[in-house]
Amino acid sequence: QVQLAESGGGLVQAGDSLRLSCVVSGRTVSSYNMGWFRQAPGKEREFVAVIRWTGGTTVHADSVKGRFTISRDNAKNTVYLQMNSLKAEDTAVYYCAAVAGRLLGGLGFRENEYDYWGQGTQVTVSS
């Protein structure tokens, strides 16, 4: 059983930075595809970034490209989302998600591709 625990959210001002962490327990993070998603009030959950198990390939949504960076620390079994130049529209609950390496059926952009989810961490950006 894989468990995911996010942390690092908070209230910041526009232009500030935050780093979200997702600690993985039960399996080694390097054998999983790990994604970050977010859900703003009144909106559907949307893809933010993915780091794939093979080679650590990363993909970021256009809305965060150049500002957010997903990374992985295998020794700490943790995935990070470094968020710079935050904007008010980045306000959302951020979730990390996992699916075993070979079980990823697509590119990792859709919620239904993931088997495990964390509880989420709130990020609020004031303008």
* Cα–Cα distance for residue pair 33/7, rounded to 1 Å: 19
Share of the chain above pLDDT 70, in %: 100
**Other CB atoms closer than 10 Å to residue 127's CB: what's the count?**
10
Residue 123 contacts by C-beta under 8 Å, 6 or more apart in sequence? 9, 10, 12, 18, 20, 38, 83, 86, 90, 91, 92, 93, 94
Q: Which two tokens stand for residue 28?
A: 């080694």
**For the segment 19-47, what is each residue's pLDDT rounded down to a tens digit?**
999 999 988 888 999 999 999 999 999 99
